[in-house]
């Protein structure tokens, strides 16, 4: 999967890997190649643009961590942005509604709609213990309803009995009534496809939607169709409104364009991935896995992550060593707050400082929420370096100046100083008398 894109990116990164340091020119050179590779991989133009901008913003000026090459650093950044573009979390099918919950499947002919309908039915039954009823609303294609019935028998899920001559709406009504009467949890409505998007199809989808009020409308799209799949998703979303996407044929060696663009263009999550013709070949969408496959460089990503963690730990160790010596000034506090912001909370930083996890509760009590962290850093940054190193200098007139500089009140500065004193005392008590203990370990 995505071989061509991965190969192209590899070539860019190989070149970067051989260079000494990451310059703006390096980043621009890499971006040129990345942009070209993405365009060739059928990624939508505006997606490519925003992707490249994000990578540039992060890569230029980003500190290259020790022990990794600049190329590896760019790989890490590209990987992160890929994951963001793909959607960072995996979203499951949403069944949180009053049963019977209707799920409407839409898409073009041959995308794998009927197959996917049966795969989903099997999964909901086996993994979630749901009573599922499937109904084919495709009255255009001869044998479409029969095809679903055959698959239903195969996965042992009930299908609505076929009544010749009914309209899609009549079938939908019958399906919902049967589900209500017979106590099914979920009704899967497999709609008709066309070879291309046309108005009668969209109108039919809109009518079914307004009748059945489906909780989910899943667009089934063929990953091999690249840019077409993106346009398709856009049209279906604008006209009918979709709640998620299922990308089929991800087992083929298609280019990565569709996966990358669809989420960005529609803002709708890719919920599942079809990876084969068998009824079990349905996977949860994993942004990390897809990003790794697009890059084809999972090893490098892992290496960069490890290196980045090593650097963070190195900084934490330095801080811990200072703390162990009883030195914890306002500059240290400011650095720590910056780290906390960067790592997204105290959980991350505490993990890096062995033993300090015990302080978590005390810090939580200090109520350091995000906006407070920002304010506190602003206050410290309004101080002179001398003041940061020696808080005792902070008498009333200096506090007034700092308060004016940070747009804060003098009381806030007093509160911050008090908090700093408490933290410094606490840290000193950890460091003192326990050589080789808590801080000793952290400083080793």
Interacting residue with ligand GDP among 112, 168, 257, 287 (CB under 6 A)? 112
Q: Fill in the per-residue mask, 199 to 238: x = in contact with ligand GDP (CB under 6 A), - = not in contact.
A: ----------------------------------------
State how far the Cα of 236 lies from the Cα of 108, in Å rounded to an integer. 10
Minimum Å gap between C-beta 155 and ligand GDP is 13
Nearer to ligand GDP among residue 100 and residue 112 (C-beta):
112
Residue with tokens 């101080």: 383
Note the residue count of the chain: 444
Q: Is 251 in the site for ligand GDP (CB under 6 A)?
A: yes
Interacting residue with ligand GDP among 274, 287, 391, 431 (CB under 6 A)? 274
Q: Is the peptide bond before 100 cis (omega within 30 degrees of 0)?
A: yes
Nearer to ligand GDP among residue 241 and residue 252 (C-beta):
252
| Residue 376, token pair as written in the block | 């506190």
Rounded to the nearest 10 degrees, what angle do helices 70-86 and 45-59 cross at? 140
Interacting residue with ligand GDP among 248, 266, 336, 339 (CB under 6 A)? 248
Instruction: Check: CB of residue 52 under 8 Å from CB of residue 27.
Output: no
Considering only the stretches 6-14, 25-33, 110-118, 364-372, report the one whose residues sit in contact with ligand GDP under the rule CB under 6 A: 110-118
Nearer to ligand GDP among residue 171 and residue 337 (C-beta):
171
Tell which phi-psi region holds residue 87, choosing left (phi > 0), alpha (psi between -120 and 50) or beta.
left
Q: Is 277 in the site for ligand GDP (CB under 6 A)?
A: yes
Instruction: Check: CB of residue 262 under 8 Å from CB of residue 245.
Output: yes
Interacting residue with ligand GDP among 17, 109, 170, 331 (CB under 6 A)? 109
Q: Fill in the per-residue mask, 283 to 322: x = in contact with ligand GDP (CB under 6 A), - = not in contact.
A: ----------------------------------------
Minimum Å gap between C-beta 105 and ligand GDP is 8
Nearer to ligand GDP among residue 254 and residue 287 (C-beta):
254
Nearer to ligand GDP among residue 115 and residue 376 (C-beta):
115
State residue 368 phi and psi, 5-degree precision.
-90, 80
**Footprint of ligand GDP on 395-414 (CB under 6 A):** none
Q: Is 126 in the site for ligand GDP (CB under 6 A)?
A: no
Residue with tokens 């079809």: 274
Considering only the stretches 66-74, 154-162, 243-251, 395-403, report the one whose residues sit in contact with ligand GDP under the rule CB under 6 A: 243-251
**# binding residues, ligand GDP (CB under 6 A):** 18
Q: Is 114 in the site for ligand GDP (CB under 6 A)?
A: yes
Nearer to ligand GDP among residue 107 and residue 226 (C-beta):
107
Considering only the stretches 63-71, 271-279, 363-371, 381-389, report the one whose residues sit in contact with ligand GDP under the rule CB under 6 A: 271-279
Interacting residue with ligand GDP among 79, 85, 115, 243 (CB under 6 A)? 115
Q: How far is CA 230 from CA 4, 50, 265, 277, in A?
A: 19, 16, 7, 23
Q: Is 107 in the site for ligand GDP (CB under 6 A)?
A: yes
Interacting residue with ligand GDP among 209, 215, 249, 263 (CB under 6 A)? 249
Nearer to ligand GDP among residue 1 and residue 111 (C-beta):
111
Q: Is 111 in the site for ligand GDP (CB under 6 A)?
A: yes
Instruction: State the CB neighbour count (10 A cutoff) for residue 104.
Output: 25
Q: Which residues on adjacent β-strands are paired with residue 283?
A: 273
Minimum Å gap between C-beta 127 and ligand GDP is 18
- Rg, the chain, Cα only: 29
| Residue 115, token pair as written in the block | 């197959």
Nearer to ligand GDP among residue 71 and residue 112 (C-beta):
112
| Residue 158, token pair as written in the block | 């009930």
Minimum Å gap between C-beta 111 and ligand GDP is 4
Interacting residue with ligand GDP among 275, 406, 427, 443 (CB under 6 A)? 275
State how far the Cα of 131 lies from the Cα of 108, in Å rounded to an integer. 27
Q: Is 152 in the site for ligand GDP (CB under 6 A)?
A: no
Q: Is 166 in the site for ligand GDP (CB under 6 A)?
A: no
Which residues contact ligand GDP by CB under 6 A?
A: 107, 109-115, 193, 248-249, 251-252, 274-277, 281
């Amino acid at each position: 999967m995505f071989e061509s894109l991965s190969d192209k990116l590899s070539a860019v990164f190989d070149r970067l890997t051989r260079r000494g340091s990451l310059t703006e020119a390096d980043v621009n050179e890499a971006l040129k190649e990345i942009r070209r590779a993405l365009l060739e991989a059928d990624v939508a133009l505006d997606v490519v643009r925003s992707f490249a901008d994000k990578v540039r913003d992060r890569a230029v000026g980003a500190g290259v961590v020790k022990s990794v090459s600049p190329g590896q650093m760019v790989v890490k950044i590209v990987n992160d942005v890929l994951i963001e573009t793909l959607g960072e979390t995996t979203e499951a099918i949403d069944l949180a509604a009053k049963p019977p919950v209707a799920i409407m499947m839409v898409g073009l002919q041959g995308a794998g709609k009927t197959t996917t309908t049966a795969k989903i039915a099997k999964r909901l039954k086996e993994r979630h213990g749901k009573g599922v009823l499937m109904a084919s609303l495709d009255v255009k294609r001869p044998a479409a309803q029969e095809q679903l019935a055959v698959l239903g028998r195969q996965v042992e899920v009930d299908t609505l009995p076929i009544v010749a001559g009914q309209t899609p709406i009549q079938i939908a009504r019958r399906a919902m009534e049967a589900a209500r009467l017979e106590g099914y949890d979920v009704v899967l409505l497999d709609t008709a496809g066309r070879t291309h998007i046309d108005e009668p199809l969209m109108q039919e989808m809109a009518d079914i939607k307004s009748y059945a009020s489906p909780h989910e409308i899943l667009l089934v799209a063929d990953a091999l169709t690249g840019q077409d799949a993106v346009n398709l998703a856009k049209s279906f979303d604008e006209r009918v409104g979709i709640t998620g996407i299922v990308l089929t044929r991800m087992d083929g060696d298609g280019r990565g364009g569709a996966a990358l663009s669809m989420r960005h263009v529609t803002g709708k999550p890719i919920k599942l991935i079809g990876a084969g013709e068998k009824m079990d070949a349905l996977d949860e969408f994993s942004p990390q896995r897809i990003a790794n496959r697009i890059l084809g460089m999972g090893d490098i990503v892992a290496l960069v992550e490890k290196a980045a963690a090593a650097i963070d730990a190195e900084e934490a160790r330095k801080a811990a060593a200072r703390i162990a010596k009883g030195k914890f000034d306002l500059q240290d506090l400011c650095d720590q707050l910056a780290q906390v912001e960067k790592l997204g909370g105290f959980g991350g930083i505490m993990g890096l400082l062995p033993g300090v996890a015990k302080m978590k509760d005390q810090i939580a009590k200090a109520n350091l929420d995000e906006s407070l962290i920002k304010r506190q850093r602003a206050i410290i940054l309004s101080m002179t370096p001398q003041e940061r190193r020696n808080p005792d200098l902070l008498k009333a007139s200096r506090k007034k100046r700092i308060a004016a500089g940070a747009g804060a009140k003098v009381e806030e500065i007093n509160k911050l100083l008090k908090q700093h004193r408490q933290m410094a005392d606490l840290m000193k008590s950890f460091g003192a008398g326990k050589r080789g203990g808590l801080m000793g370990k952290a400083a080793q």
